[in-house]
Structure 1
């Protein structure tokens, strides 16, 4: 079985995690500092090839009450772009509170604020991917499609 790549989307950074081939355990990989589209495309294509990924799961930053706001629209647009660049289907999962949970885990580990900041997105990616794996990698709904006009979205919330 191939692996699943889990991504905590951000405008500047993307937390990266990957599943084991049996799709039971999510492991953190790194925090990728975004560059230009061409560099980003090459990086994620290499990740897909290196880990033999057949699915990408991207955290969808929903609002507290569950609706999609501008950050979710940006994540969807980026996911559609990423799928077009890698040829791998993208699925979206609710990532509410993963960044907070990641911060608390890192704080409880005794890490200083600067070190927590550098690891937070990667741990958030691990948490959202692990939740997806624990749910049995649901495929009831087809992969989400991009919205018609993601250009109207603006930055909000914790889109790092």
Structure 2
């Protein structure tokens, strides 16, 4: 089996998570700093190779009414770019409130703001990927 990569794409940082080989759990891998050019995608390529990724899930930020705004359109564009560049299937997954939920969890764990900033993006990527994996499993269980 192969792994799925989850991506939480921000303007400055990209959180990356990968699934286990069975596709049951998501683990945060790292936060990649975005650059003006596409050099940051080289690190994504390295992670795809290192973890033998066979598909990618990109978080799709929707507005609370379900519509897609400017950030959502940027994530859709990124998903198309990833699909072209890596020749892998890329799916979008609704990520509404994922970063806020992760922030709340880290605050409740009494983690300092500085430490939170280092892990929030990869934890959000894990949250997105775990939601996707759980939905896939539910669909195959029915």
| Contact 1:132/1:138 (<8 A) preserved | no
Please list the CA deviations of residues 7-62 of structure 1 after superposition, one character each: whole Å capped at 9, or x if unmatched.
Answer: 00111100110000000010011111012444123111111111111110000000
Q: What is the alpha-carbon root mean square deviation over aligned residues?
A: 1.5
Distance 1:26 1:2 in 2: 13
Q: Give aligned pairs, total.
A: 139
Structure 2, unmatched stretches of 5+, are: none
Please list the CA deviations of residues 79-118 of structure 1 after superposition, one character each: whole Å capped at 9, or x if unmatched.
Answer: 1111111111110000000001110111121101121122
| Contact 1:45/1:85 (<8 A) preserved | no
TM-score of the pair, normalised by structure 2: 0.92
1:4-83 correspondence runs (5 A): 4-83=4-83
**Pair 1:100–1:38, CA change in 2 (3 A):** closer
Name the structure where helix makes up a greater proportion of residues: 2
Distance 1:13 1:38 in 2: 13
Equivalent residue for 1:125? 125
